[in-house]
Amino acid sequence: MCIRDRINNCHTGISASNSSPHIYFNQINFTSEGSTGISLDNSLSPVLKGNSITNYYTGINNYLSSPVMYKNNIQNELYSAGTGLSLIYNSIAKMEADNYENAPEWTAGLNEILLPNAGIGIFVDNYSYPVMKCSFNKVFGEEYIMKGKTNFPNMTIDAINNNWLRNPASGNDFDLDCGIDYETYSENIPDFNNSPNLFSIGFNIQDTLFKSDESSCPTENSGGENYLFYTANKFEREGNYSAAKQKYEQIVNEYRSGKYSKTSLKKILVCADKLNLSSADYSNLRNYYQTLRNNNLTDTSFANISEELSIKCLIRKSEFENAINEYENIVTSSSDSAKILNSQLNIIETYLIMSNQGDNLNSNGMTSYTGRIPALKPNSLKDAINKMNSILGRNKEQDNFTALPTEYELSQNYPNPFNPVTKINFNIPKDSYVKLKIYDMLGREIAILVNNEFKQPGRYTVEFNGSTMSSGIYFYRLETKDFIQTRKMVLVK
């Protein structure tokens, strides 16, 4: 938990990995221009409530994370670009009240995401989207209110009764590969009643759940996917994790292509953890996820999440080496760069979990076990954090700062090892003619990515495809009049 902290001038305010944290009422501020206010990766069911995030290039970044968001305030008036809320790789944000039993329960909604000078209010990518119907969120980005690729072209995001500050908003405010219903709301937010419900979130801490006396939308019927998800959440709040788990399983079984099915997949494991299952129970749960994955290979997002959760069951069983091996198989065999990135993060984090077990440690206090990709094994906690930050930072185009670089830099390619596509980032501080070439172990020129091109000061990304090359070690070299640097990369097929 992270509650009521003041965090000033930290490059990343709060970062959480492989957890489901409660992050409540924090003030995260940067007096100039910070990177990320809250960064979540592999967070199955985090709750973000009442946080104030000011002057960060990305307010809240999610990678394979499905946050519940209530009354968060994200503002950035300093950057000439940036993103308020970023949802990447199977991240589904719940920003929607539960509209049942004649009046909404405000488990989520009422967020403010405001970028008045430039940038994107909500950015979505790679099977990600917000759930935000009838929930009075205020979202505005001078460039776009919402932008990105959900990879669900037949989906329509139901975003009625939210406020886009432009009245009316138009289709030009949204740049999506799917539909969106964006009818704006009036300023008349339903009043809360004076009798909030209390429920425990653990550690002797209680949370409040407010209701409104009237609804902003037609009351949902007592049936269907939405009602099942509401019921499952209610059971979970009440501590009835077994009943909640059954409801989430019912959603997965009956509404496989629904808006809550992928979140419910994650929630099943969250409830299982709260039930303190045995190793045998986690074996059964792993089989459940593997069966779902194998039966739904045509649904890439659903299959990837199921596979990820099946590996997490190995970690629950303390079969760390097997988990690392399965993640390494993905790194070396997948052509999906986002999936590779996620597996690399999990390898690093699994090494940390192994080290915390206290068995077979080296002199640095880290596990003595080393998998097939030694470059992903951290030699300390600090090294692990640096590796994860490097991986996350180099994958997100929307996090590339617009401030001009002050020196030449050639970054390590990502992913590395790669198969067959990787990206190479480099910085140019002044007008320069630039060459970027690939060489083999014998120094022979294999490819020319940038051929003596004129580049103005800025940050650049070039993609390299090694599909026609054999596995092995290669070198890439950046050359200008004033700067030469070479780095090594590994192609694994």
The pLDDT tens digits for 263-292 are 999 999 999 999 989 999 999 999 999 999
Average pLDDT over residues 96-105: 72
CATH of domain 404-491: 2.60.40.2550
- Other Cβ atoms within 10 Å of 488 Cβ, number: 12
Residues of the chain with pLDDT > 90: what percent?
50
**What letter would DSSP give residue 150?**
-
Q: What is the pLDDT of residue 380?
A: 86
Residue the block writes with tokens 């045998």: 280
Average pLDDT over residues 252-262: 91
Give me 435's structure tokens: 């060459």
pLDDT digits (tens, 9 = 90+) for 431-467: 788 999 999 999 999 999 999 887 877 788 899 999 9
Average pLDDT over residues 365-388: 85
At 33, the pLDDT band (50, 70, 90 cuts) reads: low
* Domain residue ranges in the chain: 2-209, 221-317, 332-403, 404-491
According to the 3-state scheme, what is the secondary structure of 401-469? Answer: CCCCCCCCEECCCECCCECCEEEEEEEECCCEEEEEEEECCCCCEEEEEEEEEEECCEEEEEEEECCCC
Task: Give me the amino acid identity at 329.
Answer: N
At 396, the pLDDT band (50, 70, 90 cuts) reads: very low
What's the gap between Cα 395 and its chain centre?
11
pLDDT digits (tens, 9 = 90+) for 159-217: 988 999 876 788 889 999 999 998 877 666 666 666 667 766 666 677 777 777 665 56
Please state the pTM of the whole predicted model. 0.74
Average pLDDT over residues 45-49: 93
Q: What is the pLDDT of residue 203?
A: 62
Query: Is the pLDDT higher at 295 or at 382?
Result: 295
pLDDT digits (tens, 9 = 90+) for 129-153: 999 988 889 999 988 999 999 999 9
Q: What is the pLDDT of residue 126?
A: 87
On the CB side of 387, CA atoms within 13 Å amount to 23
Average pLDDT over residues 230-244: 91
- Angle, vertex CA 169, rays to CA 102 and CA 174, nearest 5: 100
At 346, the pLDDT band (50, 70, 90 cuts) reads: very high
Q: Is the dihedral of CA 251, 253, 255, 257 positive or negative?
A: positive
Q: 22-31, 291-300, 399-408, 414-423: which has the minimum mean pLDDT?
A: 399-408
